[in-house]
Chain A
Amino acid sequence: MLSVTELMQLLTPGGRRITVASEAMSPAADDPPVDVAASDPRPEIGEPSAVDLDLPALVADLTPADLVGFYRDMVLVRRFDEEATSLQRQGELGLWASLRGQEAAQVGSGRALGIHDMAFPSYREHGVAWCRGVDPAAILGIFRGTSLGGWDPDEHGFALYSIVVGAQTLHAAGYAMGMSRDHSTGAAIVYFGDGASSEGDVNEAFGWAGVFGAPLVFFCQNNQWAISEPARRQSRTEIFHRASGFGFPSVRVDGNDVLACLAVTRWALATARAGHGPVLVEALTYRMGAHTTADDPTRYQASEQLERWRRLDPLDRLRTHLAAAGHLDGQREQRLALEADALAHDLRVRCRALPDPDPAMLFDHVQVTDNALVTAQRAAFVAARAGSADGRDVAGGGAGADGSGVGAREGTVVAGERRGSGATW
């Protein structure tokens, strides 16, 4: 069992709101803290860097409507995620990486961000994207294979997804260094996983952000798994303990508690914005589904562990609290369900309507200035496609069903390059 002082909470798994600072740092015994020990024994090494926070005060301003708003965020994000999973099953997406179980960590931290802040996601931060106003259909496009990016990072304060594990932490460190040089009023936050914490890039980002006092919040969602490998394969200490070695503070928060995640992230961002340098937040949560739709977790995951975490569901916790406090009646729940249905329906329609890119787009934006080789390849490609009407008809298939170009017997050599090296494809 984890020492209770190491897991900050504002909503107990039973849905009780904690209002006393000392209690937030050591949740009361009536609600057992998250039990990771049984499945994930770790050696007791070192002391956590003690951070003394008045957690309840950090969210004292929240109105009941705010709380209902967070609940709505989580319900809609979960529904978006479920719809994406079923779109993948139906062949509309090539792949989907589900955030199920991590809604509170993402909505809590995402809602702590202001307009001058900049978030750097990995590939599972659909809930943060939601909070940053990114169109979920743009995210579906990445997994459908119609785009590699999908949104303007500056417009949303939300960088592009990063599939190369850990790489984005260095971008965030550099961005935050730029923010402090420019006297920005904002801070950066970077999302990464327990697995990512092993990458050199992440540890280098810790070092740099520390040395340069960069206004950067490292937000690690420890969802206990990196594909098939449990978190204990990545680190002998708790991940949040690492910050002290790099010289900056850290906290661990109950990642299934949206209020605590919000409070801790607010504090971390404020610390960074105030010029005190980086903060590491470890949000302890659980990946409730497969790594992606291509994964088969039954090969490595014990069903009892999943069951234990199912009882700690982040949505249930806030719903229980709101219902008990009289802020969420059946009618409101029903309206929300309808809204979720409408969102899912809209996304399904728009996802299926996402057009395949124009093939000539292959050659767009390779770099800012023209590259003669790419230009020549584009010209040959376009010419071959134009000539494909009388192109060769390949018996027995194998050619694209669209009869796509480059089969033309004539016209594939770029003008003036009869002996040229341009048509190299």
Chain B
Amino acid sequence: MVTGGLATNGAATNGLATQEVARASEARTSETRTSEARTSETRTGPASGSAQPAPITLAKALNLGLHAAMAADPKVIVMGEDVGTLGGVFRVTDGLQREFGEARVIDTPLAESAIVGTAIGLAMRGYRPVCEIQFDGFVYPAFDQIVSQLAKLHYRSAGRIRLPVTIRIPFGGGIGAVEHHSESPEAYFCHTAGLKVVACSNPHDAHHMIQQAIRSDDPVIFLEPKRRYWEKAVVDPRPLPDLVTGSVDAVDAAGAAVGLHRSVVVRAGTDATLVGYGPTVRTCLDAAEVSAADDDRSLEVIDLRSLSPLDLGPVLESVRRTGRLVVVHEAPSNVSVSAEVAARVTEAAFYSLEAPVLRVTGFDTPYPPARIEDHYLPDIDRILDAVDRSFAF
């Protein structure tokens, strides 16, 4: 079940993330790139070839990414509840069944454990399933199949079995939904060895990351920030890490893009570091904007992108310059991604820190009724308050 009002917060922020990225990349690189025809998304990306690429929504960027992945590899199949005729409740799979047929875009019976369990079997037969879990709160019936089966079979088989399964999960709150439609379950999966967990935050990244996730030979939990589905940005043919660093996406032993697991500076700054992922990257960027205008502070913003494995290189590099770190996510704080980031940064950069690593997160309560979710979700105020506390320390 989805509620209305989803499109409201997108319009004002069109393309901001991409502008920030462009700014950051200008600041960091000047060398020319060999971007031509390097990866399949370079060729099939929606922005390639056109002089003035139009901004597209995050949902559309995913849709085009799925389309490209299916076109590139006949073994890629999409499966989930309402993904076919309807095109998914968020329309992320819109048109795919028409294009690729019912054999490759499967409206499954209503059973999440079976969606993941059968995906494992299909993967054992050489297929590359992309499962859609309709909402974050409905992944739990599949929990056993994900953490006990999907995550472990490669290990148990001494590497003989590979399970290139992508599990797409719209996650996070802020859409005024009824219960079970606003949760942030990432920590459960990050805690499970054998899984990779990533979260996209903007259309450009969504487009590339979904294709990289599908190409990965390891299972990937792919988190989509549902309240950002309607935010628009231009999708650049180069993946985000390449765009920022000016490097060319490296490929691991299995041929998968390692860029999927890189964190990225999306706004350069000097005074303090904000770290977010998924829906809170936008919130962090907005907070940095307000802080610059009101407080004359220059906040650096890092998009983690990959939650497991974590890529803390850019975070450490940033913290060594700024000395202050605030980590922001919607999930509760207890045993969370921010807890891991705080612990590791404290270990690796203790003497650079001017203040403890602070966190702005959802509370350690169940997700509340929609009418008070704004109090639960990290917002600009709470982020800037944490920045204040960091400076006041």
Q: Which residues of A are at the interface with B, using a C-beta cutoff of 8 A?
A: 94-95, 97, 123, 142-148, 163-166, 195-196, 198-201, 226-229, 233-235, 291-295, 299-300, 356-357, 359, 361-363, 366, 371, 373-374, 377, 381, 384, 391-392, 394-396, 398-400, 404-409, 412-413, 419, 423-425
Bound-complex Cα distance A307 to B389 (A)? 63
Most interface-central of A144, A146, A398 (chain B CB within 10 A)? A398
Question: Is B368's CB under 8 angstroms from A94's CB?
Answer: no
A408, chain B: closest CB distance, angstroms = 7
Bound-complex Cα distance A166 to B82 (A)? 17
Stretch at the interface among B27-35, B161-169, B221-229, B359-367: B359-367
Bound-complex Cα distance A228 to B380 (A)? 38
- In this assembly, does B109 line the interface, its C-beta being within 8 Å of a C-beta of chain A? yes
Given contacts A228-B86, A299-B87, A409-B388, contact A146 B380 (CB under 8 A): no
A195 touches which one: B110, B365, B371, B392 (CB < 8 A)? B110
- CB contact list, B1-55 vs A, under 8 A: 1-5
Residues of A within 8 A of B140 (CB): 164
Question: Is B1's CB under 8 angstroms from A398's CB?
Answer: no
Question: Is B141's CB under 8 angstroms from A398's CB?
Answer: no
- CB contact list, B80-115 vs A, under 8 A: 81-82, 84-87, 89, 107-111, 113-114
Give how many B residues have a beta carbon under 8 Å from the other chain's beta carbons.
Answer: 65
Given contacts A146-B371, A361-B372, contact A425 B384 (CB under 8 A): no
Bound-complex Cα distance A343 to B133 (A)? 39
- CB contact list, B365-393 vs A, under 8 A: 365-366, 368-376, 378-382, 384-385, 388-389, 392
Bound-complex Cα distance A164 to B178 (A)? 11
Given contacts A228-B86, A395-B290, A407-B381, contact A165 B110 (CB under 8 A): yes
Residue of B nearest to A424 (CB): B333
Q: Using a Cβ cutoff of 8 Å, how many contacts connect chains A and B?
A: 192
Residues of A within 8 A of B4 (CB): 94, 293-294
Question: Is B375's CB under 8 angstroms from A394's CB?
Answer: no
Bound-complex Cα distance A405 to B3 (A)? 27
Residues of A within 8 A of B347 (CB): none
Residues of B within 8 A of A97 (CB): 1
B163, chain A: closest CB distance, angstroms = 21
Main SS at interface, chain A: loop
Which 5 A-B residue pairs are closest in the complex by CB-CB distance?
A145-B370, A228-B86, A198-B109, A407-B381, A195-B110
Interface string of B113-157 (1 = CB under 8 A from A): 110000000000000000000000110110000000000000000
Given contacts A146-B371, A294-B2, contact A407 B141 (CB under 8 A): no
Question: Is A163's CB under 8 angstroms from B180's CB?
Answer: yes
Question: Is A373's CB under 8 angstroms from B371's CB?
Answer: no
B121, chain A: closest CB distance, angstroms = 16
Question: Is A146's CB under 8 angstroms from B369's CB?
Answer: yes
Question: Is B110's CB under 8 angstroms from A396's CB?
Answer: no
Bound-complex Cα distance A296 to B5 (A)? 15
Bound-complex Cα distance A144 to B360 (A)? 27
Residue of A nearest to B142 (CB): A200
B195, chain A: closest CB distance, angstroms = 21
Bound-complex Cα distance A163 to B289 (A)? 39
Can you list 11 A-B pairs with a CB-CB distance of less than 8 A?
A: A166-B110, A226-B110, A228-B84, A228-B85, A293-B4, A300-B86, A357-B368, A381-B375, A409-B392, A419-B356, A425-B378
Bound-complex Cα distance A292 to B1 (A)? 7
Residues of A within 8 A of B82 (CB): 227-229
Identify 11 new A-B residue pairs, CB closer than 8 A, beyond the known A356-B372, A363-B363, A394-B380: A146-B371, A201-B141, A227-B86, A233-B109, A294-B3, A361-B368, A373-B334, A395-B290, A400-B381, A404-B374, A424-B333
Residue of B nearest to A145 (CB): B370
Given contacts A227-B81, A294-B2, contact A400 B374 (CB under 8 A): yes
Residues of B within 8 A of A356 (CB): 371-372
- In this assembly, does B293 line the interface, its C-beta being within 8 Å of a C-beta of chain A? yes
Question: Is A198's CB under 8 angstroms from B363's CB?
Answer: no
B381 touches which one: A163, A357, A399 (CB < 8 A)? A399
B353, chain A: closest CB distance, angstroms = 13
Bound-complex Cα distance A292 to B2 (A)? 8
- In this assembly, does B286 line the interface, its C-beta being within 8 Å of a C-beta of chain A? yes
A324, chain B: closest CB distance, angstroms = 40
B3 touches which one: A95, A363, A391 (CB < 8 A)? A95
Bound-complex Cα distance A398 to B381 (A)? 8
A199 touches which one: B111, B374, B385 (CB < 8 A)? B111
Bound-complex Cα distance A384 to B375 (A)? 12
- In this assembly, does B259 line the interface, its C-beta being within 8 Å of a C-beta of chain A? no
Residue of A nearest to B375 (CB): A359
A92, chain B: closest CB distance, angstroms = 11
Question: Is B81's CB under 8 angstroms from A396's CB?
Answer: no
Given contacts A145-B178, A200-B111, A373-B334, contact A398 B379 (CB under 8 A): yes
Question: Is B110's CB under 8 angstroms from A196's CB?
Answer: yes
Residues of A within 8 A of B109 (CB): 195, 198, 229, 233-235
Bound-complex Cα distance A293 to B389 (A)? 44
Residues of A within 8 A of B111 (CB): 198-200
Question: Is B365's CB under 8 angstroms from A363's CB?
Answer: yes
Bound-complex Cα distance A295 to B85 (A)? 13
Bound-complex Cα distance A396 to B13 (A)? 12
- In this assembly, does B340 line the interface, its C-beta being within 8 Å of a C-beta of chain A? no
Question: Is A409's CB under 8 angstroms from B141's CB?
Answer: no
Residues of B within 8 A of A195 (CB): 109-110
B113 touches which one: A164, A200, A233, A299 (CB < 8 A)? A200
Residue of B nearest to A203 (CB): B111
Given contacts A144-B371, A359-B372, A377-B364, contact A294 B1 (CB under 8 A): yes
